[in-house]
Amino acid sequence: MVWITKVIYAMQQVSLPALKGNIMKTTAIIGGSGLTELDSLKILDEKEIATPFGKASSTLVFGELAGKKVIFLARHGNPHHIAPHKINYRANLWALKEAGAEQIIAVAAVGGITPEMSPARIAIPNQLIDYSYGREHSYFAEDSDAVQHIDFTVPYDDSLRSQLIRSGKGLNIVEMGVYACTQGPRLETAAEILRLERDGCDLVGMTGMPEAALARELEIPYVCCAVVANWAAGKAAGEISMDEIMQNLEQGMTDTKQLLQQFLANVA
């Protein structure tokens, strides 16, 4: 009997680290405005991935952060030059899938609509409404015989959201909210923001769709880490200035990098 216990113990010593290795996922981080590079990333490789949909916004950067495998993609290119409505979302998501991404944290600058969503805060939305138009928004769009209707009741991965929120204790994160995706590149009118508010939206950005839906089509768990850059139009006195946006983004991105570090160290 004793030798059986010893054999089981020896097997556990071998298999536990191996198992742990297996469940560590490769996390892709999509960086938005204010996050074109991850300075704490230990870069191991950089590749351009060919896709049937053309070129991704940037090369994919492969590296390690907090000891975990990370793939980084700059959504607007590096340096930042691609407007939200011109981004090749299909190529971006396809390239990440091809490169082995198993979960995606999509960082995105947003305007704050409801009172909790104050500038420089991070929010992890749980719902979205898509107001964008004319974007290539599906992998199933080419061939009507192959159309599939993915379930999108809950657009962000619940388990990944919970893990991210848990990792962000102490960072004053807003734990839910409805993200409105507008077409851009202009900011909204005050009346448009009131309409979004009446629709139940808390945050407004220009890049959340079709990104989230394409990730779902490719079956990659996806969450949005929204960084509030400004009060949305009409929610504060005066016009929205680029200076104000850049200043709030700098603070918000410092917290975001800390959040990513804590997430990768604790969970990924």
Q: Between residues 76 and 137, which has the closer beta carbon with respect to ligand HPA? A: 76
Question: Toward ligand HPA, which CB reaches closer, 188 or 197?
Answer: 188
Q: How far apart, in whole angstroms, are the C-alpha atoms of residue 123 and residue 111?
A: 11
Name the residues that contact ligand HPA, by CB under 6 A.
Answer: 109-111, 182, 187-188, 204-206, 229-230, 232
Helix (H/G/I), strand (E/B), else coil: 205: strand
Round to whole Å and give the CA distance between 143 and 44: 38
Minimum Å gap between C-beta 137 and ligand HPA is 18
Strand partners, 112: 203, 231
CB 73 within 8 A of CB 60: yes
Question: ∠26-28-31 over CA atoms, to 5°?
Answer: 160
Q: Coil, strand, or helix at residue 111?
A: strand
Q: How far is the CB of 141 from ligand HPA (least distance, A)?
A: 25
Q: Which residue's CB is nearer to ligand HPA, number 226 or number 264?
A: 226
Nearer Cβ to ligand HPA, position 28 or 249? 249
Is the CB of residue 120 less than 8 Å from the CB of residue 253? Answer: no
* CA pair distance 10, 89, nearest whole angstrom: 48
- If the CB atoms of residues 112 and 221 are measured against ligand HPA, the closer one turns out to be 112
- Rounded to a whole number of angstroms, the minimum distance from the CB of residue 230 to ligand HPA is 5
